[in-house]
Structure 1
Amino acid sequence: MGMPPIEDMVGRETEWQQLADFATSGEQSASLGLVRGRRRIGKSFMLQGLAERMNGFYYHAVRGSSGESLHDFGEQLGAYSGSIAPLSLGSWDDAVGALMELGRRGERLVVLDEFPYMLEHTPGLDSLVQRAYAPRAGTRRDTQTRLILCGSAMSVMGQLLTGTAPLRGRAALDLRLQPFDFRTARRLHGIDDFATAILTYAVIGGVAAYAREMVGHDLPTDPDDFDRWVSVRILSPSAPLFGEVDLLFGEDPTLSKARKPNLYYSTLAGVALGHHAWSSLTNYVRIPGGSLASVVSALVSADFVAELQDPVRDNRPIYQPADPLIRFHYAIIRRHQARLRRHGANTGELWAELTQTFRSQVLGPCFESMARSWALHFASRETLGGAPVHVGPTTLAVRNSDTGARELRQLDVVVAGDAETPSDRTVTAIGEAKVGQRLSLRHLVRLEEAREALGQVADSAKLLLFGQHFDRAVLRVAEERDDLEIIDLPRLYEGE
C-alpha cells in the first residue's frame, strides 16, 4: 500500500507515489533524485509535505552570495538537527558531507529546493554532489540519504543530467512535473459548468497556484461571472497574474541573462500571437532562420514554448505557447498595458472591447490544443479508428468543392499511425475544433475535402467535429454515418 497523499492535493497522485517510492526505496546506499517543473506548478507543495511526513530536511534556497547562503544553510540544518547553535560549515563541500551524514542511521529525505539559485553562487556545487555520489564513494555506501534537487529554472535543471554534466548517470529519479491537462484542471478549479471550465482554462491553464493563491481562491462560477473574474483577477495591474509571464521570464537565468534578451521576448510574442510555423515566425521576428534556431531551442528547453511535430509531413515543427497564460498575456495584457495601467482605468470596459480578440486569438487556439489532447489521451481506439501514435495539426492544400480552386488550410487535429516516414503514415482520424461557432454541414464538407486532399493514406479516416454548438442537420448526419464523430463539451470532458 502506498503512502497516503497530503491533504488538499489534486491530480498529483502518481507523482506523489513516485516521490514516496524514491524516499522509501529500501536501498542500502544513498540515492539522488531530480524534480523539475515550471514555477507555481506544485513542486514545493509536494516536497514540503513529503519532508514533513517523513521528518526529512527541507531547504528552500534564495538568491544571495555563497557565504551568506552557506551561513543560512548551516543555521537551518543546525535547527533541524537539534543543535543549540548554527552548524559551522567551512565550505559547501562540508555542507554536502553534512547532508550525507543525515542518513547514517536509516533512510532520510533531504530536499534542496530551487537548486539553480545555489548553482548561481556556487557553480561547482553539482560536482561536489557528484563526488559524494560516485559509485565507489564511501560516503554513498555508508548512508541512506535520499537527496532531491528541485528547481524551476527548466533550462538549468535540464542540463544537470545531460552530456558531460557531473550528475549524469547518478540520479535514480528524474521527475518532470507538467501543468494539469484540461480535465484535471477542471477538478482543481472545482467548476461544474463545461463552458466556464473552458473559458477559465484558456486563461490560467493547469497551473495549480494560478487557481488558488494567485487569484485569491476566487474562480468564476458561470459564463456570466467569467467577465467579472477576468477584469478583477487578471487584468487589474494589482493582480498577481497581470505580470506573471514577465516575472517567469526574468527568473530563468538562461533567458534573462542572454546577450539579446529582447530577441527571446519577441520570439515568444510571435509564437503566442499565432506565428506557429517556422517561416511565419522568422518573418515576424525579422531575423534569418539559422539565427533564430538557438533562441527557439532555448525557449523550448525553458518550457515557454512547446514544439509539436506535424503527423504527416517531415521536418515541419509547429510552435505553440507551453501555457495558456502566455498566450493570454501577449494577446491581451501586453498589447494594452498602457491602457490597463492608467490610473482609474475601468478594466471591465476594456475587457468588453477585448472579448472578440480573446475568443479568436486565445480561446480558439486553446480549444484546438484541448481537442488534440483529447484525441491523444482520452479518446477510444474505436472513436479514432486506431491507436493515436502521432497527433498534431497540419497544413495542406485543399480543393474547394464550390470553386474548384486549391487553398491552404490548417487541419486542427490529425491522428496517424506509425511508418518509416510521416508521409507514409496511415491517417486514422482528422478533426476540426471550433468553440466559438455553431458547427454545421459546411464544417463537415471541409473535413471531407481535407480527407480527400490527404490521399490514399486517409481513405478510411474518421471525421471528428469538436465544438459547443451543433446544427441539427449535422447531428442527424452523424447518427447515420459511421465515419463521423461529434465531440461536444460533455464528451470532451467526460467521454471517449
Structure 2
Amino acid sequence: MNAVHGQQQTAVTGPGRPPRPDRLFDRENEWEALVSFAGDPHPGPDLGVVTGRPRQGKTLLLESVARATGGFYFCGQQATEAEALRRVGEEYARHREAGRPGPWRGWKECLDALLALGDDRPLPVVIDSFPDLVAASPALPSVIQGALRHSDRPPPGNRARLLLAGETAPVMTRLFASSAPLRALTRLVLDIRPLDFREAARLWGIDDPRLAFLVHTVVGGTPAYRHDYVNDDVPAGLDDFDAWVCRTVLNPRMPLFHEARHLLDEETGPRGRVICHSVLTALAMGCTTHGGAAAFLGQQLTDTSRALAVLRDRGLLRSQPDGLQPGITRHHIADPLLSFEHAVARPRRAALEQSDAETVWREARTDFDMLVAGRRFAQVCRDWAASYADWTALGADRVTAAHGSLSDPSATAGLDAEVVVRRKEGLLSGPLLSLGIARWNTSMDMHHLQRLRRVLERLEPRDGTGRVSLALYGAAGFSPELHAARARGEVMLVDLERLYRGV
C-alpha cells in the first residue's frame, strides 16, 4: 500500500507527469502521490482514500488532479440518494460531453458507468465528500466493494482509479479502518494535514521568525485562512501584529472571527457542542489529562472522556503518552485557532460586542502570552525536534517528542520537561535521548539548566539516562552563562532563528 501522511515524504517527479498548478501552495508530496496513483498503468481498477480536516485544501487538490489528468470529479453533499444520483449523472454527462444519460436505478449502475471511464487508459474517478453520500445510501460502501472485487464486468484492461475523499470523521475512520473490507482494497491512503510552522510562514510570506510564530499561534497552518478569511491582510511587521489581531480574529466583520465556532459545530454537531467547547476551554487552561479536565469542569470522568474521544476522532486533539510517565495520556489542542478562541476570544465575547477590540486585546494579551503562545511555542519545539533537528543533535534520525512531567515531593509543583525526545521504534517510543525546557517570554539562565539536571537526576535510577542530552528552547534569549555552557557541550540552545531556519 502506498501511504502518505503529513509532509515528511520526499517529493518525486517523473517524466510526463502533469505539473502542479501554481495556485496549489506546497503539497508537492501529496500532488505526486495522487498523480502517480491516477496514472498507474497496471491493469485493473484501484481504490484510493483521501482524508483531511476542513479548510486544508483537499478539494482544491483533488479538483486540480482531476483537471490535470482529464479525470472525473464529483463532490457529494447532504441529499437523498435520488438527488445524488441525478447530480452525479449530470457531472458524468458533462465529462463525456454527451447528453444526459438515462436515469441510473442505483449506485451499482452509476459505479459501473464511472469505472468504465478507465477502459481506455488510467483515469482518476474522484468522489469527494463521500460521507455525505453514505449518510443517504448506507449500502454504498458494499456496492463499491463489489464493483472493485468483481472486475470481470469491465474489460480486463480497465484502469479506473477510484478516489474516495472526506473529512477526518467517524465515517471515514470506520469505512477505512485496518479491519474494514474496503481498506483491504485500498492502494493509496493520503491524509491532507495542516501545514507545519515553517510551511505556514512561507504561506503567509513572513520572514521574521518571531512574527511568523505569532501569526502561526493565531491561525496555525490552515491554508484557507490566508486569503478570504482575513481579506488578504498580513501584518506588516512585529509592530503591526497587535493591530492585525484586532483587524482580523477579533473583528466581528471578518470570517476568521466566527471560524473557530463554526469549525467546532461542523465537527461535533449540536449534541456534543456544549461539552466539547468546555473541554477545549479546560485544555486551553492547561488541564491536559482526563482527570484534570474533568476536575476543571466539575464533570464526571466518563462525560469528559466521551468529549475527548469526539474531539480526537475529528482530528482536533493531539493525544499521546506523557514523555516521562507513559501511563498518563496528555491531550493538546491541535488547531491553534481553537486554542486562541477558548483562551482569549470566547471568554471575552460580551466585551467584544460592547467595547473596541483594541481595549479587549490589551487586557487579553497576558493570557495570550501565557496560555496560547507559551504552550504553542512548546509544541513548535516538539515539532522541530521530531521533524527538523539534525539527528546528530538528538542521537537518532527517527524520534518522538512529547511533554513530560514528574511529581516532586520536595516542591509545591512538579518537574516538567516540555520537550522529551525518545528514539522512535516502530509505533513505540524507545530510549530517552533528550530532555528540554521551552520558554516563550522568559529569558533563560542557569536556573533552567539546573532544573533540567534535576529532572535527569530523578530519572537516572529507572531510565538509563547516561547519554541523554539537555536542551533549552527559548524565544527571549539566553544568559552569557548558558552560552558558555553550550560551548562546553553541556546544553543545546535553540532559539526562534534555529527553529525556523536551522537543524
Equivalent residue, structure 1, for 2:445: 440
1:36-75 pair list within 5 angstroms: 36-75=51-90
For 1:280, the equivalent position in structure 2 comes to 292
Indicate the residue corresponding to 2:194 in structure 1: 179
Residue number among 230, 250, 271 corresponding to 2:245 in the alignment: 230
For 2:353 and 2:79, how far apart are their aligned partners in 1? 32
Do the aligned residues in 2 keep the contact of 1:398 with 1:450 (CA within 8 Å)? Answer: no
Taking structure 1 as reference, are residues 421 and 38 closer, same or farther at Cα in structure 2, changes over 3 Å only? Answer: closer
The size of the alignment, in residue pairs, is 486
Residue 9 of structure 2 corresponds to which residue in structure 1?
none
Partner of 1:249: 264
Structure 1 residues 310 and 387: CA distance shift in structure 2, 3 A: farther
1:408 and 2:418 aligned: no
Matched residue, 1:367: 377
Structure-1 residue corresponding to 2:335: 323
8 Å Cα contact 1:30/1:140 also seen in 2: no
Of the three residues 449, 466, 484, the one matched with 2:473 is 466
2:389 equivalent among 364, 367, 379: 379
Match 2:108 to one of 87, 93, 116: 93
Q: 1:347 to 1:117 in 2, by over 3 A?
A: same
Question: Structure 1 residues 213 and 422 mapped into 2: Cα distance closer, same or farther (>3 Å)?
Answer: closer
**Aligned partner of 1:212 among 209, 217, 227:** 227
One-letter code of the match for 1:283? Answer: A
Q: Which of 489, 499, 502 is matched with 1:482 structurally? A: 489
TM norm structure 1: 0.92
Deviation at 1:379, TM superposition (A): 1.1
Aligned-pair CA distance for 1:308? 1.8
Unaligned runs of 5+ in 1: none
Q: What is the identity, as a one-letter code, of the residue corresponding to 1:478?
A: A
Q: Is the 8 A contact 1:390 1:417 kept in 2?
A: yes
Match of 2:353 among 320, 341, 345: 341
1:357 Cα offset (Å): 0.9
Deviates more, 1:108-117 or 1:425-434: 425-434
Check if 1:300 corresponds to 2:312: yes
Number of the residue aligned with 2:364: 354
Is 1:200 the counterpart of 2:205 in the alignment? Answer: no
Give the 5 Å matches for 1:416-427.
416-417=422-423, 426-427=431-432
CA contact (8 A) 1:79 1:86 kept: no
- CA deviations on 1:120-147 (whole Å, 9 max, x unpaired) are 2222211211111115553484521111
Contact kept? 1:131, 1:137, Cα under 8 Å: no
Return the offset for 1:191: 0.2
Superposed displacement of residue 446, structure 1: 1.6
Q: Is the alpha carbon distance of 1:164 and 1:430 closer, same or farther for their aligned partners in structure 2, counting shifts above 3 Å? A: closer
CA gap of 1:386–1:56, structure 2 versus 1, over 3 A, is closer
Find 1:264's aligned residue among 254, 257, 276: 276
The CA deviation string for residues 221-256 of structure 1, in whole angstroms up to 9 with x for no partner, is 31111112111111112221222122222223xx31
**Cα distance in structure 2, aligned partners of 1:272 and 1:147:** 40
Q: Which amino acid aligns with 1:336?
A: R
| RMSD between superposed Cα atoms in Å | 2.4
For 1:451, the equivalent position in structure 2 comes to 456
Alignment match, 1:9: 24
Distance (whole Å) between structure 2 residues aligned to residue 52 and residue 429 of structure 1: 47
Q: Per-residue displacement from partner, 1:193-234 (whole Å, max 9, x unpaired)?
A: 111001001011111111222222222131111112111111
Counterpart selection for 2:406 from 390, 396, 411:
396
Q: Match for 1:256: what amino acid?
A: G
TM-score w.r.t. the length of structure 2 is 0.90
Q: Match of 2:289, as an amino acid? A: A
Query: Does 414-423 or 158-167 show the bigger shift?
Result: 414-423
Secondary structure at the counterpart of residue 177 of structure 2: coil
Distance in 2 between residues matched to 1:471 and 1:302, nearest whole Å? 39
Secondary structure, in 3 states, of the residue corresponding to 1:280?
A: helix
Give aligned-pair identity as a percent: 30
Q: Does structure 2 retain, via aligned residues, the 8 Å contact 1:30–1:141? A: no
Point out 4+ residue stretches in structure 1 off by more than 6 angstroms.
418-423
Which whole-Å CA distance do the structure 2 matches of 1:14 and 1:475 have between them?
40
The answer (yes or no) to whether the contact 1:452–1:459 under 8 Å persists in 2 is: no
Change over 3 Å in CA distance of 1:257–1:476 after alignment to 2 = closer
1:428 Cα deviation from its structure 2 partner: 2.0
